Structure 1
């Protein structure tokens, strides 16, 4: 059987573990050969050894830079022509723009774009129109579009980002599923004397961290035996205001961990999980939290709305501090409901978002 050659294109190597991860091992055993194009870094080379792909360093800037972007498209075009890839898969708006255009000019038969989210949802003016039109250009040049959630598909269709016939959805959503074996179902709160609320993600405005900290201050006026655990790096592109950062740094009941390589162990230190985001593609962290037996509080925005079953695995809050306070207080005061929702969430993830299930979808619908 002829080996199928696949090229993945991402803008930053950090995302490879989450966008592709164990797919490299799974499909390599099925006869696929993987290459990855990405901006050069020591992490990129280390990941190539860990996952067994051939690295191709190419500058993919996250911001628009016409001269450099044209150079990167040409460099990728030459690489694609030389290697004769069967499939090119590009991720994120900038990786998609560079990768799908290069694959289009090189006439690759399968050009797949993973729409991981809709950046334009939280911007306005000329920039919003530019980002929407970039999505439309990618959609025109790609042969198929994997929308990572049903809600991303709905917005894509409403804005005519691509022909509906090109849309692909993997099960109920997500791009990669999760390794269910890494997350253990817990029974009951770990410590009924201190309840820990957890958050995992970039510490940014878009993730709703300002609302979360304001809700936290309201909770602290009512409860003394609670803690807030924040996992994730500060986002320099969408920075938090000084007042919010000061609260995070100086509040003795806030455990700011920062960025970590493996988040799976930290969910076992939490009792309630919260993601008050303003936009997502499909939030993997809510699946990880649910797989760990945690009730999930999130918002009814694109992506997040698909990641829980309301009043079964979690509860939706509005993008306000008062709403977050009310829902978090409900879980604190009703530990029996919290435990039921956590158990339901664990089963919901096992049934719909395990890696094996998602990889079979990828094999059937993309490769």
Structure 2
């Protein structure tokens, strides 16, 4: 593969580790040059050193701000014209709107949008129509759309977000694959005196934290030797009610870890993983949990529905506390099945979602 000059565009630098990560190292060794446009932060500069890309700070606000957005599109347009990139890859709705529009105006030959999720699925009214039409504008201006899950492709086709001929899927889904040398079963980390149910992700309403905490109250009425481990930052854009936060902070059976840079060893402290989300693109955390040998309880929403094999690697729950309680109880009461589903999940990730497999797909379908 001839070396190419590639620009990634994201709204927050935090997402780079998950959206691109080791791709930087893998494809740099094949002679490619990487640049990243993103809102400025100390973390952005640190990541540029870690992954070896050239940073271009530009404001990409997650909220809609017409004046600032137009300024950012123009700055990016000038940068893209000056640097003459072979490929521009934009992530998330806002990064996509600003990045793909700038690349379209600059006539970049390959303009690729990664559709990581569908924000409009959990909103209503005029805002929903606006978000759908933003997706359609991005879809028109992009040359290719990478939907990160089969279920996102189905919604995209149903709503005509872009020409179906532009759709691409990497294997069975995901955007970056799983590092199976990092996320793997390890012994010696679990506390054998308790059963630990784990969650990794933003603590928000969209992630189903209200329903999970309600289910936890039911579980604690039946079991004494259990704990809930919550890993991830509080989400200021979709905040939890004060009563739920108070329960998380005060309940001695809940271990709130907060945000961490490396979650791999935390999975090894869990017995069951749960993601009760209302909206996803393709939840990397369920694959990380499966790769770590955990049975998974998740919901049948977009993205999540593609991340497990029902009754083989995990169980589907409805988006309510009683269903979550029932599915988690099943694994607590049937440890042999829980362990079997964990082993199956580990193999499922190795067979379909390892970084090597996904990076070959990226090389064939995108670069």
Fold conserved between structures, TM > 0.5 = yes
Give distance in 1, aligned partners of 2:187 and 2:328. 19
Give SS of 1:269's match: coil
Q: In the alignment, does 2:247 pair up with 1:233?
A: no
Q: State how many pairs are aligned.
A: 367
Residue in 1 that maps onto 2:179 = 179
Give SS of 1:172's match: coil
Residue in 2 that maps onto 1:341 = 341
Give SS of 1:273's match: strand
Give distance in 1, aligned partners of 2:9 and 2:23. 14
Q: In the alignment, does 2:148 pair up with 1:148?
A: yes
Give distance in 1, aligned partners of 2:242 and 2:156. 35
Structure 2, unmatched stretches of 5+, are: none
1:40 and 1:59 in contact (8 A); partners too = yes
Residue in 2 that maps onto 1:13 = 13
Residue in 2 that maps onto 1:139 = 139
2:189 and 2:269 in contact (8 A); partners too = no
Give distance in 2, aligned partners of 1:322 and 1:146. 35
2:191 and 2:269 in contact (8 A); partners too = no
Residue in 1 that maps onto 2:163 = 163
Give distance in 1, aligned partners of 2:337 and 2:288. 19
Shift of 1:184: 2.3
Give distance in 2, aligned partners of 1:106 and 1:322. 52
Distance 1:341 1:186, change over 3 A: farther
1:45-194 → structure 2 map (5 Å cutoff): 45-186=45-186, 190-194=190-194
Taking only aligned residues, the RMSD between alpha carbons, in angstroms, comes to 1.2
Give distance in 2, aligned partners of 1:320 and 1:241. 16
1:31-46 → structure 2 map (5 Å cutoff): 31-46=31-46
Q: In the alignment, does 2:364 pair up with 1:364?
A: yes
Give distance in 2, aligned partners of 1:296 and 1:219. 17
Q: In the alignment, does 2:187 pair up with 1:209?
A: no
Q: Deviations over 1:232-263 (max 9, x none)?
A: 00001000011111110000010000000000
1:294 and 1:339 in contact (8 A); partners too = yes
TM-score (norm 1): 0.98
Give distance in 2, aligned partners of 1:88 and 1:190. 43
Runs (4+) of structure 1 exceeding 4 A deviation are: 186-189
TM-score (norm 2): 0.98
2:187 and 2:268 in contact (8 A); partners too = no
1:278-293 → structure 2 map (5 Å cutoff): 278-293=278-293
1:261-300 → structure 2 map (5 Å cutoff): 261-300=261-300
Structure 1, unmatched stretches of 5+, are: none
Give SS of 2:131's match: helix
Give SS of 1:170's match: coil
Give distance in 1, aligned partners of 2:187 and 2:20. 31
Give distance in 1, aligned partners of 2:186 and 2:47. 31
1:247-266 → structure 2 map (5 Å cutoff): 247-266=247-266
Shift of 1:183: 1.9
